[in-house]
Structure 1
Amino acid sequence: MNILFLTQSGPDLPSVRFRVLPFVERARQQGHTADWKRIPKAFHKRIAFFLSIPKGTVIIIQKKLLTGFQLSILKNRSLALVFDFDDALWTSHPSSSAGPRRDKSEKRDAALLENICSKVDLVIAGNNYLRDRIKSFNPNIEIIPTPLDTDKYVPSESRLENKKIIVGWMGTSCNLFFLPEVFKELADKMREPNLYVVSDKPLPPSIADLADFEKWSGEAEVQQLQKMDVGLMPLTDDEYTRGKCGFKILQYMACGAVPLASDVGFNREIIEHGINGFLIKEQSEWGKYVNLLTVDPDLRCKMAKEARKTVVDRFSLAPLADKMLARIETIIPKKPY
């Protein structure tokens, strides 16, 4: 197969780093011709770019909502057309202001999502919630969670069992929105406060003095994750967060941190409460479970091992990439004898 992923952003965006680049590499290993390219922003450049794609290419649109006209060009040039998404594209981040502008944007995006899902040969969704949203538009859907290279994301061999535990959070700056209430709760309730944040931008003033900050680095990401004994994923409960695929949790778990995550959406399908992490229902439980893991290192070690096993067994890169490639092959038109 000749496979081309089309993305809306560059390689630093998590969805490109983990849902595109590894699949390209895996496809090449299997003997396919595979590549990825970023869709131009300018309309005239975009159309020329689409027309330059060789006919007979398997085109995978990664999360970009295109107009019907643009989609028709790709459909005409593709051997098979696939849409892959891992976010609730029809709604807005909970930090965005409500109002007519947001309503208009959401209505437009919902219509574009419906159109693209109804026109492609296959939809790949990151979780059940996303699938259920669009299954009436196209029954040809495959659920493929965002995979993780568990040979690269590993616990630190030099982890010290008796050191002061580090409670961490890693994520893009738009999601710092979810931290203030949780961090204030932990600062008040933790026996040994030691909060650590890794992001592309510094902490807001409201919590800047509550945690150590380190700027995210692609080269140092694994080492940054390995510093954490407990990984946090607080969320609100709404359409946007129910569409998230819990990838932050998987990174923590693979690198040896016990996850504490809001009892929302796909988090429930990753974490088995009390076995490989804790699902948080009430605000007071953040401090409760951090303190439990602090005073019981044996429990923390046991849960960290279970967390790692969960990711290796269910979310490792190779089997999920192979599943995706095998599924794509089922939609390739068969040549006549």
Structure 2
Amino acid sequence: MRVLFVVSYPVGQAASQRYRVEQWLPVLEERGVTYTLAPFWSQSAWAVLYKPNHYWQKIVGLVSGFTSRLLLLFKLPLYDFIFIHREATPVGLPWFEWLAAKAFRKKIIFDFDDAIWLPNTTSENNWAAKLKWHHKTGSICRWSHKISSGNGYLRNYALKYNPEVVLLPSVLDTENHYNEQKKQHTQEVVIGWIGSHSTVPYLQLLEPVLQRLEQQYKFKLYVIADKAPQLQLKSLEFKVWQKETEVQELLQFNIGLMPLPETEWAKGKCAFKALQYMALGIPAVVSGVGANVQAVVHGTSGYICTTEQEWYKHLETLFLNPEMRSSMGGAGQAWVRQHYSLQAHRQTFLSLFSL
């Protein structure tokens, strides 16, 4: 069997692609499957993609990406499956997907982990947002052999267009990568968050809660991302995300945060931050939105919050109780291993490649 993975970014750079595509590749290798990864963006284009200005480099990168997709069409006959993560091209019509499915008669596996049929404009992608063709998601679902959706909300959307939908959450390799447990008896309590430029603004939802907490207690707010948050907090410490140190940086946390707004876009989120925390024995305190409600067992592996008062109460409780943090951390780690690990969903992933 030969599989072509049509992805957006260079290998090892984007969390969604790393955890929904790249970490599964050894599983295919064990089965004797050969594969090719075909990113849209080059390494040089990716380096400036979410930075201000650099317009010429972005245009060159966009043209180069479309050229590579055109050339890739001639290689489609070599493959048994075409696995498309999110989209083949970042802007415009789904011409590549249509040609692959209709002209070349290839079996498409379509994977998505966000509500990508909805507009989600940020300051970093505003330049391209006007060229997006968001409603192409439904068409790609119709043309696909099978669909891999990251949570139930996304699955329900895909089922409107195609019955062949598999619910495959974003999972973690708990045997080889996320296999350590946070020691909770520490001199300093660290409340942490990990994410990217697109989700950094969500931290502002907690700014009043954290400011109030700062008035009573001394702690560190540890933020790991590719962009610093704009928060008026004296406890804030920002760290630039690096793949090589991601797990060790997360192990600095005593408590993990995942705030989300009550929006349709946020309902498509796959609770991945919360899963990262829990996999390392860190209690997760999250908004009661979307997949968070299924991922976090309230009162056992963390807390689900709907009001500022609940956020404050649960953060204070965990701050003051290292034994509770430790027991919740252990429960969360066991929960992730059972329900959200690569090992637990191995057969689900392989089922995508059945005829």
The alignment status of 1:92 with 2:115, answered yes or no, reads no
Contact 2:338–2:344 (8 Å) recurs in 1: no
**Structure 2 counterpart of 1:131, which letter?**
R
The alignment status of 1:17 with 2:18, answered yes or no, reads yes
CA distance in 1, matches of 2:304, 2:184: 26
Q: How does 1:269-288 map to 2 (within 5 A)?
A: 269-288=294-313
- CA RMSD between the two structures: 2.3
Residue in structure 2 matching 1:123, options 121, 137, 147: 147
| Other structure's SS at 1:214 match | strand
Q: Which moved more, 1:51-60 or 1:230-239?
A: 51-60
Q: CA deviation at 1:124?
A: 0.9
The alignment status of 1:201 with 2:227, answered yes or no, reads yes
Contact 1:65–1:116 (8 Å) recurs in 2: no
The alignment status of 1:37 with 2:62, answered yes or no, reads no
Q: CA deviation at 1:87?
A: 0.4
The alignment status of 1:59 with 2:82, answered yes or no, reads yes
Q: How does 1:185-200 map to 2 (within 5 A)?
A: 185-190=209-214, 191-200=217-226
CA distance in 2, matches of 1:237, 1:295: 29
Partner of 1:233: 258
Residue in structure 1 matching 2:208, options 171, 184, 188: 184
Identity %: 28
Q: CA deviation at 1:327?
A: 3.4
Task: Rate the CA distance shift 1:300–1:113 in 2: closer, same or farther, 3 A.
Answer: same
**Structure 1 counterpart of 2:141, which letter?**
C
Partner of 1:335: none
Partner of 2:52: none
The alignment status of 1:307 with 2:328, answered yes or no, reads no
Q: CA deviation at 1:134?
A: 2.3
CA distance in 2, matches of 1:176, 1:314: 27
CA distance in 1, matches of 2:158, 2:226: 32
| Other structure's SS at 2:334 match | helix
Contact 1:24–1:36 (8 Å) recurs in 2: no
Q: How many residues align?
A: 323
Q: Cα deviations across residues 272-325 of structure 1 (Å, max 9, x unaligned)?
A: 110111001101222211110122222111111111111100111133233211
Partner of 2:71: 48
| Other structure's SS at 2:300 match | coil
TM-score by length of 2: 0.84
CA distance in 2, matches of 1:318, 1:78: 32
Task: Rate the CA distance shift 1:271–1:54 in 2: closer, same or farther, 3 A.
Answer: same
Contact 2:88–2:97 (8 Å) recurs in 1: no
Q: Which moved more, 1:211-220 or 1:71-80?
A: 71-80
What runs of 5+ residues in structure 2 fail to find an aligned partner?
42-61
TM-score by length of 1: 0.89
**Structure 2 counterpart of 1:91, which letter?**
L
Contact 1:154–1:256 (8 Å) recurs in 2: no
What runs of 5+ residues in structure 1 fail to find an aligned partner?
333-337
**Structure 2 counterpart of 1:284, which letter?**
Q
Contact 2:2–2:78 (8 Å) recurs in 1: no
The alignment status of 1:324 with 2:325, answered yes or no, reads no
| Other structure's SS at 2:198 match | helix
Task: Rate the CA distance shift 1:94–1:73 in 2: closer, same or farther, 3 A.
Answer: closer
The alignment status of 1:291 with 2:292, answered yes or no, reads no
Contact 2:117–2:138 (8 Å) recurs in 1: no
Residue in structure 2 matching 1:164, options 181, 188, 195: 188
**Structure 2 counterpart of 1:135, which letter?**
L
CA distance in 1, matches of 2:95, 2:192: 45
